[in-house]
Amino acid sequence: MLQLKYSQPRFFMTQNKTMSSTDLLIRFLHIIIILSFTGAYLTGDAEEWHQVHMAFGYTLGISLILRILWQFFAPRLAHTQPSAVSRRFHVIKPFVQRYWAQPQQWLSPTFLKAASSSLFQLSILGVFCLLPLTVLAGFLTDYTQSHSLKEVHELFANLFLASVLLHLAALTLNSVLLKKWLAKRMFWGAESHSWFTLFTLVLSLGVLVAFWLWYFS
């Protein structure tokens, strides 16, 4: 039987090749989330730093909202394609299907590369699931002064930390196996950025600065 093969037009092939998943705003929000979580975790047990702790927590929440909005607007106005949940599952699912019932391959280099990549994606999913839960539990704890909610907040914060540590471990292992420092793409890059990306970066920075000035006024 004759089979017809579909081939994309050259325009779309070129467009897909130039679509980046890591742009300037993604890098900015990544750094803000790192600094905010570190600051919130270090000030969590100090009563005299409670206001700063809450400010870091709210900054995490604002950063998450900006990141979700950027997921929607970036492909339409900035010509970039931030990684979505479905793309991360597309890395994890084939790994599980291939290796789950093949323990004899669990020490092979191929398995370790696939495992580190899958754990890396899983850790990101964990971070983005636990971030809103941690912030919400912290807000409710501060609002109600409930000891039970405080324990829930601490549990989510520790699970958040575990996801971050898994993220770093998987990134390090994957970098060693591939002999390439993969973290650099999250801090700098040589690609050009659209005017909309630069505008959104300035706007996001303005929102965060305005929040801190308002919160401590």
DSSP per residue, 45-108:
T-GGGHHHHHHHHHHHHHHHHHHHHHHHHIIIII-B----HHHHHHHHHHHHHHHTT-GGGTTS
What single-letter DSSP state applies at residue 186?
Answer: G
* Predicted local distance difference test score (pLDDT) of residue 60: 95
Q: Is the pLDDT of residue 8 over 70?
A: no
Give the tens place of pLDDT for each residue, 48-86. Answer: 999 999 999 999 999 999 999 998 888 887 777 777 677
User: What confidence tier does 106 reach under pLDDT thresholds 50, 70, 90?
Assistant: low
Looking at residue 68, its amino acid is: I
C-alpha distances in Å from residue 108, one per residue of 37, 72, 103, 140: 35, 39, 10, 47
* Predicted local distance difference test score (pLDDT) of residue 77: 78
Q: Among positive and negative, which fits the CA dihedral 64, 163, 81, 201? A: positive
CB 63 within 8 A of CB 32: yes
Closest CA to 167 of 133, 134, 125: 125
The mean pLDDT value for 76-103 works out to 75
User: What confidence tier does 177 reach under pLDDT thresholds 50, 70, 90?
Assistant: confident
What pTM did the predictor assign?
0.80
User: What confidence tier does 6 reach under pLDDT thresholds 50, 70, 90?
Assistant: very low
| The two structure tokens encoding residue 128 | 């983005």
Give the tens place of pLDDT for each residue, 112-171. Answer: 788 888 888 899 999 989 999 999 999 999 999 999 999 999 999 999 999 999 999 988
The mean pLDDT value for 16-25 works out to 66
User: What confidence tier does 105 reach under pLDDT thresholds 50, 70, 90?
Assistant: low
* Predicted local distance difference test score (pLDDT) of residue 80: 79
Give the tens place of pLDDT for each residue, 29-43. Answer: 999 999 999 999 999
DSSP per residue, 154-184:
HHHHHHHHHHHHHHHHHHHHHHHHHTS-GGG
Which range among 93-97, 123-127, 190-194 has the greatest average pLDDT?
A: 123-127
* Predicted local distance difference test score (pLDDT) of residue 207: 96
CB 95 within 8 A of CB 114: yes
